[in-house]
Amino acid sequence: ETGTIKAGMVVVFAPANVTTEVKSVEMHHEQLEAGLPGDNVGFNVKNVSVKDIRRGNVCGDTKNDPPKEAASFKAQVIVMNHPGQIGNGYAPVLDCHTAHIACKFDTLLEKIDRRSGKSVEDLPKFIKSGDAAIVKMIPSKPMCVEPFSDYPPLGRFAVRDMRQTVAVGVIKAVEKTDGKGGKVTKAAEK
């Protein structure tokens, strides 16, 4: 939905931290010069095994705002249908792009008015259905997200619990980390 991809480009997958070169780009089994935003393309990469990358990884250009693992992020969350109260420490599953990862509501920073976006309470003890809040969230496993203002598809999420969507959110800011380890293929070092 954002960005372009061409053969010869050096890309990194986050949060797997795998760097490699794109060998070819194709759409419906036909070779393409480049994939553009909105295109549903397949691409071949050099010397990367299926074990190195997985669903939820984000691929990006190493030279242009490469994707990185999120250590934590701040999001505006709207609680839709949660039967109880949500407090610090709540750790539901977030569905964000194709990632499906538990994230902890680390700190409820402020409760806000849904219409104006103005703060109505700092550091609330809990939030409930109908409330909107700014929340600091910490992923339980490596995850790659981005602010909604920069990359909309990577900056919105659904909060799942009790087999339903209990809240939705928009990411405002991300604290990134370089993650651990990683792999750079020979093709990427040229």
pLDDT value for 190: 53
**Rounded Cα gap, residues 35 and 74, in angstroms:** 31
* pLDDT tens, N- to C-terminus, the chain (190 residues): 788 999 999 999 999 999 999 999 999 999 999 999 989 999 999 899 889 999 999 999 999 999 999 999 999 999 999 999 999 999 999 999 999 999 999 999 999 999 998 999 999 999 999 999 999 999 999 999 999 999 999 999 999 999 999 999 999 999 999 866 666 766 666 5
Q: Are strands 30-32 and 86-87 parallel, antiparallel or unpaired?
A: unpaired
pLDDT value for 180: 67
pLDDT value for 185: 66
Q: What is the secondary structure of 58-110 as a DSSP string?
A: EEEETTSS---EEEEEEEEEEE-S-SS-EETT---EEEETTEEEEEEEEEEEE
Domains of the chain by start residue, with CATH: 5-67 (2.40.30.10), 69-177 (2.40.30.10)
**Rounded Cα gap, residues 95 and 161, in angstroms:** 11
pLDDT value for 178: 82
**Rounded Cα gap, residues 126 and 187, in angstroms:** 50
